Amino acid sequence: MLSMTALQTALEMGAIYSLVALALFISFSILNIADLSTDGCYTLGFAVGATVTLAGHPFLALPAAMAAGACSGFVTAFLQTKLGVESILAGIIVNTGLYTVNLAVMGWSSNLSIVKADTLLTIAKGLSDSTFWKDWYTLIVLSAILLVMALFVTFFFRTRLGLSIRATGDNVDMVRASSINPAFTITVGLCISNALTGLAGCLVGLVQKSCDINLGTGMVTIALASLIIGETLFGRGSIGVRIFGVVVGSCIYRLIMAVALKLEVPTECFKLVAALIVAVAIASPQGRKLIAIQRQKFLARKGAKEKC
């Protein structure tokens, strides 16, 4: 049904979106905070990554984008832990502010192109001349980065600090009574989460080579959809399983979008398709419960009738 190129693009984007989904996994699933600064942070990652690449430092682009994301996460965390701003509002405030910051980073222009610059990906492309490598290098590089990050997150959440962060989202009373400062764990969690979002923004810039200021719009919805598809399919098992679920969820989401593209859904409707997927994904566990209850009722009534 899908051509090889379409599948390849879907997987590439899936790998990138996995990073954002992983970021939301940390803020939304683990810390129980809806971090709405994701959209702006994603664009920030692109803006910083592209600017650093254009300045002639293709390798520095990734850590720079991650650091920028972490700073944004720090501000969001600072607003909610120290200044008592409601967590959703803190995200919205930072998101609004980031719009101007992003324009500033991009040199007050609303789009930026890195077509002519040497990027991490063009350097990687030059590593080998085989046709296989030329066809697949983007996906391989992206998957490698994703793998490193997923392993890091899996490892991290088994350390003392990681366990503390997980407990903060699970039972904040317990955390306070366990000599852990919740303000600190929330800050660290949001910094890591937004660093991943920034990295994803940087990578999408490298792949698409040119992006504009609205790159991140709707990102939060897409990542949430991926996250929830993953959690619906893989349940709430161990951290490793859940992180794997997040990655698979992102790829499934991109495949659904690729099919929508194939079915010639007009591009103007894509946001609606995305919103529908999210709604269905979030509603599906509840829907399954409703069906189970109805079936139980039906069987009970049937049993009562037979007795009569």
Residues of this chain that interact with other proteins (CB under 8 A) are: 156, 158-161, 163-164, 166-167, 170-171, 173-182, 236
Question: Between residues 107 and 237, which has the closer beta carbon with respect to other proteins?
Answer: 237
Question: Between residues 220 and 239, which has the closer beta carbon with respect to other proteins?
Answer: 239
Cα Rg, the chain, nearest whole Å: 21
Long-range contacts at 102-111 (CB < 8 A, ≥ 24 apart): 102/40, 102/43, 102/44, 102/47, 102/213, 103/213, 105/44, 105/47, 105/48, 105/51, 106/47, 106/50, 106/51, 106/213, 107/51, 110/212, 110/213, 111/210, 111/211, 111/212, 111/213
Cα–Cα distance for residue pair 194/98, rounded to 1 Å: 13
- Shortest separation between residue 82's beta carbon and other proteins, angstroms: 13
- Shortest separation between residue 186's beta carbon and other proteins, angstroms: 13
Cα–Cα distance for residue pair 94/98, rounded to 1 Å: 6
Output the DSSP codes for 179-200.
T--HHHHHHHHHHHHHHHHHHH
Backbone angles phi, psi at 186, to 5 degrees: -65, -40
CA distances from 307 to 193, 293, 296, 300, 302 (A): 59, 21, 17, 11, 9
Residue with tokens 């009534």: 301
Question: Between residues 79 and 188, which has the closer beta carbon with respect to other proteins?
Answer: 188
Amino acid identity for residue 11 in this structure: L
Record the tokens describing residue 289, joined without a space. 């419960």
- Shortest separation between residue 188's beta carbon and other proteins, angstroms: 9
Question: Between residues 117 and 167, which has the closer beta carbon with respect to other proteins?
Answer: 167
Cα–Cα distance for residue pair 101/287, rounded to 1 Å: 42
What DSSP character marks residue 88? H
- Shortest separation between residue 202's beta carbon and other proteins, angstroms: 26
- Shortest separation between residue 227's beta carbon and other proteins, angstroms: 16
Question: Between residues 85 and 167, which has the closer beta carbon with respect to other proteins?
Answer: 167
- Shortest separation between residue 239's beta carbon and other proteins, angstroms: 9
Question: Between residues 174 and 291, which has the closer beta carbon with respect to other proteins?
Answer: 174
Question: Between residues 158 and 271, which has the closer beta carbon with respect to other proteins?
Answer: 158
- Shortest separation between residue 20's beta carbon and other proteins, angstroms: 23
- Shortest separation between residue 238's beta carbon and other proteins, angstroms: 8
Cα–Cα distance for residue pair 276/98, rounded to 1 Å: 28
Question: Between residues 110 and 171, which has the closer beta carbon with respect to other proteins?
Answer: 171
Give Cα 9 distance to the centre of its chain. 17
The partner residues of 111 in beta bridges, in order of sequence, read 212
